[in-house]
């Protein structure tokens, strides 16, 4: 009697040479990926540091920079960065101190030329100027220590400055229109008598100059009074970065190249 026997077949093993070639290809690919990642990290950190130095000189305080998600190595092809986010604390604009800034610069183009480091297509920023910073700014002026405190009234949109130990209030209302700041005196009296003109005008001029002077071509578009600060919205159009003012350690601008 004939019996049917199952016939098993074994797949042929790939030649050792093919497996070796596959390993070599995988190693080469892994090395290329690691090189690209390392290059991306290096160039990104270098550009962020360079831009931070550039913008620190503009803002007057240290700046934290974060480049857009697009790989910097791809950006190096056309030397354009889609967007740059920035954060700065204790900004100093005009006579103002203690301003916290967060913003975004769009369509940034960088060059190797220290005399023309690059351009910014547009900029948007928001500023928080707390009452502590406002008071410090006023007290740095020559008012003989008469101003002792600052209070806000969000509903009225006003700032009230305490004078002579809180016995007197000088109240102003800051507004922005068309890139220009207006600081209106709402009340400035004590015992029915008006405050000295020099004191009133000095406070108003200091607040106006503080809210009007911004870097990167930024202009105030709105001012809101909050519980403990002024919130200022800024917008700017195309802006050319000024020549580099570094320590001389770099001969070029913020290059995107390796």
Given a cut of 90, is residue 50 above it in pLDDT?
no
Q: Which pair of structure tokens corresponds to residue 82?
A: 């889609």
Kindly report the average pLDDT of the chain as a whole number.
79
232 pLDDT band, cuts 50/70/90, is very high
Selected residue with higher pLDDT from 205 and 67: 205
**Which has the minimum average pLDDT: 79-83, 203-207, 253-257?**
253-257
Q: According to the model, what pLDDT value does residue 7 have?
A: 54
Given a cut of 60, is residue 213 above it in pLDDT?
yes
Q: How far apart are CA 180 and CA 31, in angstroms?
A: 56
Q: According to the model, what pLDDT value does residue 249 have?
A: 39
Selected residue with higher pLDDT from 210 and 213: 210
Selected residue with higher pLDDT from 111 and 106: 106
User: What is the chain's length?
Assistant: 258
Given a cut of 90, is residue 158 above it in pLDDT?
yes
**Which has the minimum average pLDDT: 66-70, 145-149, 181-185?**
66-70
Cβ proximity of 129 and 150 under 8 Å: no
User: The whole model's pTM is what?
Assistant: 0.74
Question: Over the range 31-64, which residues count as b (16 or more CB within 10 Å of their CB) and which as e?
Answer: eeeeeeeeeeeebbebbbebbbbbbeebbbbebe
22 pLDDT band, cuts 50/70/90, is confident
Calculate the CA dihedral of residues 114, 235, 209, 183 and round it to 10 degrees.
180
- Mean pLDDT throughout 170-178? 90
């Amino acid at each position: 009697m004939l019996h049917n026997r199952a016939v098993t077949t074994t797949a042929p093993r790939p030649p050792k040479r093919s497996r070796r070639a596959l390993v070599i290809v995988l190693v080469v690919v892994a090395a290329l990926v690691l090189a690209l990642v390392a290059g991306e990290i290096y160039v990104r950190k270098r550009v962020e540091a360079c831009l931070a130095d550039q913008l620190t000189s503009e803002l007057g305080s240290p700046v934290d920079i974060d480049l857009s998600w697009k790989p910097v190595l791809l950006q190096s092809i056309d030397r354009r960065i889609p967007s740059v986010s920035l954060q700065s604390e204790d900004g100093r604009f005009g006579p103002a101190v203690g301003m916290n800034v967060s913003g975004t610069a769009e369509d940034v183009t960088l060059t190797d030329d220290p005399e023309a480091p690059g351009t910014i297509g547009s900029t948007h920023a928001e500023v928080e100027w707390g009452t502590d910073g406002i008071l410090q700014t006023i007290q740095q002026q020559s008012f003989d220590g008469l101003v002792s405190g600052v209070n806000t009234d969000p509903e009225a949109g006003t700032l009230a400055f305490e004078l002579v130990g809180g016995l007197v209030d000088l109240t102003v209302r800051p507004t922005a229109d068309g890139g220009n700041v207006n600081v209106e005196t709402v009340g400035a009296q004590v015992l029915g008598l008006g405050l000295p003109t020099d004191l009133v005008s000095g406070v108003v001029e200091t607040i106006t100059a503080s809210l009007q002077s911004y870097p990167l071509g930024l202009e105030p578009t709105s001012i809101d009074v909050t519980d403990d600060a002024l919130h200022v919205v800024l917008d700017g159009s195309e802006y050319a970065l000024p020549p580099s003012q570094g320590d001389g350690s770099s001969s070029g601008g913020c290059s995107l190249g390796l």
